[in-house]
Structure 1
Amino acid sequence: MIKIVNLLMFLVVCFLSAEAQVKPVNPLDVPFGDPYIIFDDNSDTYYMYGTGGVTNGFVAYSSRDLKNWKKEGIVYTAEQEKSWGTKDFWAPEVYRWEDKFYMFYSAHWKENPNNELENYKIGIAVSSTPTGPFEDITGKPLFDPGYPIIDANVYVADDGRKYLYYSRCCYKHPVKSEIADWAKKKGLYDEIEESWVYGVELKPDLTGVIGEPVLLLRPPVKRNDMQAEWESRSVTSKEINRRWTEGSYTFKHGGRYYMMYSANHFAGENYAVGYATADQPLGPYTKATNNPVLEKNTHKGGLVSGTGHNSVLITKDGKMWCVYHGRTDRTGQQRMVFIDEMKILDDGTLEVQGPTHKEDNK
């Protein structure tokens, strides 16, 4: 009997140890903004990409367990013949299709006849390995909608069609709303600029887009909108005269399309994540009533703020994780990577079980 009990205890310990091994400890020792992780079956390895780590390019990290990360070095650089970007290389996302790895990213376009301060566009680079080197495909941005764009995300539908989601920058995009009227009446700002999320179908060969972009998400117009309070904190806290809807990530679950997105200033403490759902890849999308699903916890005695620009990772054991960046009082303005488990309940409600911090477990 004693032997059986000891055996059971040993198995329990092994099970708990295995569970602990796959749970990341936040923040990770990876100084990234806009983190994105893929799993490569061939190497049984996770690869992470993000904003930061090198000037005018991108670096990558690798891991077998999501806890211990190895820096793989520079995987993309603007010092190449087909580079079209000059600065502000942001938000890389990498996808594997037909044994090739495709990196979608944002940068400042060198063709800038009007000398715009934010001349951002989206490009695509390709590599035969997840660690690069990634080379630009065409030597120019994917397309030009007539305004600056960032934060590319791609969803591949069941029929193989690819959809690109992106954010129109706030730059030179003043929008009338009750929040803008309130800010002007209070003497805070004369106008409020906004960023909006659009979606458009990609050409199969990735050389352009099909049709016209569709507006999918934007900040609330009415002050009594249930989303208005949390999506307007950058304005109401007197931080800046902008309201963002950016960093979107789209996936399908249970026949519904989920689009997660970030609101407020990426460099501020109020950066937070919400989501919306739709029946079709290009909407219409309806924002969830339980937004935001990820936000700072400092007002509750926690240590984490500036939580946002997330992606979603399904690990090889089938768990769903929310990958995002955040800050603590110890990391200061440096954005660090966090990974917290997320779930979709039986009624379709999405929940992120974070932000967590390593000191929460002490």
Structure 2
Amino acid sequence: MNYRFLVLCCLLVQVAAALAQKGMPSNPLNVPLGDPYIIYDEKADKYYLYGTGGTPNRFVVYSSADLNDWTNEGVVYESSQPEAWGVKDFWAPEVYFFNNKYYLFYSAHWKDNPHNELENYRIGVAVADSPTGPFKDLTGKPLFDPGYPIIDANVFFADDGKLYLYYSRCCYKHPVSSEIADWAKAKGLFPEIEESWVYGVELSPDFSGVIGEPVLLLRPPLKMNDPQSEWESRSVTSGEINRRWTEGSFLFKQGDTYYMMYSANHFAGENYAVGYATATGPLGPFRKSANNPVLQKNTQNGGVVSGTGHNSLLRGKDGRWWCVYHGRTTTGGDQRFVFIDEMKILPDGTLVVDGPTTGKRRF
């Protein structure tokens, strides 16, 4: 074989490998946000990523043409705007394109706080003409007031045109009797266990409020022998904190089945993890899956990722589903970063997430 030709072939192989590597993202993404949510905007032919953090009491957005390289586009929502009703703790933004407008659903601490509650959270809606904002509050007040603190809004657009809002009641001042609470008290760990529960309610077509009464959809198990109890109670059994969470819900439909993904355990701890439940209608009743959790830490198996949770889903241009979530690494400390891993529905209806993964991969 001609020597020069052989050298040229080797160089071409190296260049091709370098280009392929350049086009591959690294998990976690270099995006330091929690509670991530991605939309694809057809107008701009770009992806936009929102999340908790990146700026105090405001929201920022990142953009990408390919899910690989992300650019910080700056602040999209200002809590200092005259219409703002929230004063701090701006969390869990989700943006929806509807009727040629972009709607931002988010959680914040409500300034109307006559009893000086430590967790006075409600859900708000802001609107913009562009995914990069600026978003302005729709009504200057929370979407609705159920009488208890709520966070983590998620909206589902049903086939019949109805809209549904899902949210989590906070653990704050919500002690619940259960066998795990009795166990924790007997062990001298905690005198009581507070819980957060996921609710669903119909949403008005103009996003100005809700229709009817919220329906309880998901909560932590009451019995210790419940198959879900072990993984959903790890923050309590490890002595970390006196709370059990059911939060960060995300609803989607596959065939005739409604899937609700949710997170359990302390968001700031290593045991934060994701499970799912299924139903035949958007307001349940939901049944938790036997293969929960579907996403959790891998440090016990030699990995470097923990605190995996508060996920959303993105449908790729090729039809594949991507699970978008945050996690922490052993080298990143307490900083949350965005991860993207593939999610699949198996022929028998089982939901699986290929994660957490680290290093290079292609979307």
TM-score for both structures, normalised by structure 2: 0.93
> Does the C-alpha gap of structure 1 residues 19 and 150 become closer, same or farther in structure 2, counting only changes over 3 Å?
farther
Give the equivalent residue in structure 2 for 1:3: none
Which runs of no fewer than 5 residues in structure 2 stay unpaired? 1-12
User: Residue type of the partner of 1:184?
Assistant: K
Give the equivalent residue in structure 2 for 1:186: 187
Give the Cα separation in 2 of the matches to 1:138 and 1:94: 17
- C-alpha distance after superposition, 1:303-322 (max 9, x if no partner): 00000000000011211100
Q: CA deviation at 1:131?
A: 0.1
Which runs of no fewer than 5 residues in structure 1 stay unpaired? 1-11
Is 1:311–2:276 an aligned residue pair? no
CA-based RMSD of the aligned residues comes to: 2.0
Give the Cα separation in 1 of the matches to 2:347 and 2:21: 26
Q: CA deviation at 1:98?
A: 1.4
Give the Cα separation in 2 of the matches to 1:41 and 1:15: 30
CA contact (8 A) 1:260 1:273 kept: yes
CA contact (8 A) 2:84 2:141 kept: yes
Give the equivalent residue in structure 2 for 1:289: 290
Give the Cα separation in 2 of the matches to 1:316 and 1:97: 20
Give the equivalent residue in structure 2 for 1:340: 341
User: Residue type of the partner of 1:243?
Assistant: R
Larger mean Cα displacement after TM superposition, 346-355 or 312-321: 312-321
> Does the C-alpha gap of structure 1 residues 222 and 46 become closer, same or farther in structure 2, counting only changes over 3 Å?
same
User: Residue type of the partner of 2:225?
Assistant: N
User: Residue type of the partner of 1:46?
Assistant: Y
Pairing of 1:235-250 with structure 2 (within 5 A) = 235-250=236-251
- C-alpha distance after superposition, 1:226-264 (max 9, x if no partner): 000000000000000000000000000011000000000
Give the equivalent residue in structure 2 for 1:34: 35
User: Residue type of the partner of 1:29?
Assistant: N
> Structure 1 runs of 4+ off > 3 angstroms?
12-24
Partner SS for 1:191: coil
Partner SS for 2:127: strand
Number of equivalences: 350
Give the Cα separation in 1 of the matches to 2:361 and 2:19: 20
Give the Cα separation in 1 of the matches to 2:326 and 2:276: 17
Q: CA deviation at 1:17?
A: 9.6
Q: CA deviation at 1:23?
A: 5.8
Partner SS for 1:86: strand
> Does the C-alpha gap of structure 1 residues 241 and 67 become closer, same or farther in structure 2, counting only changes over 3 Å?
same
User: Residue type of the partner of 1:302?
Assistant: G
Give the Cα separation in 2 of the matches to 1:230 and 1:14: 46
> Does the C-alpha gap of structure 1 residues 15 and 192 become closer, same or farther in structure 2, counting only changes over 3 Å?
farther
Q: CA deviation at 1:206?
A: 1.0
CA contact (8 A) 1:344 1:350 kept: yes
Give the Cα separation in 2 of the matches to 1:161 and 1:98: 14
> Does the C-alpha gap of structure 1 residues 292 and 13 become closer, same or farther in structure 2, counting only changes over 3 Å?
farther
Give the equivalent residue in structure 1 for 2:234: 233
> Does the C-alpha gap of structure 1 residues 360 and 103 become closer, same or farther in structure 2, counting only changes over 3 Å?
closer
Give the equivalent residue in structure 1 for 2:279: 278
User: Residue type of the partner of 2:121?
Assistant: Y
> Does the C-alpha gap of structure 1 residues 25 and 153 become closer, same or farther in structure 2, counting only changes over 3 Å?
same
- C-alpha distance after superposition, 1:297-347 (max 9, x if no partner): 000000000000000000112111000000001110000000001100011
Q: CA deviation at 1:79?
A: 1.1
TM-score for both structures, normalised by structure 1: 0.94
CA contact (8 A) 2:47 2:63 kept: yes
Give the Cα separation in 2 of the matches to 1:252 and 1:47: 22
CA contact (8 A) 2:25 2:360 kept: no
CA contact (8 A) 1:313 1:320 kept: yes
Give the equivalent residue in structure 2 for 1:162: 163
Give the Cα separation in 1 of the matches to 2:137 and 2:23: 35
CA contact (8 A) 1:125 1:134 kept: yes
CA contact (8 A) 2:274 2:310 kept: yes
Give the Cα separation in 2 of the matches to 1:18 and 1:319: 24
Give the Cα separation in 2 of the matches to 1:173 and 1:293: 27
Q: CA deviation at 1:21?
A: 7.6
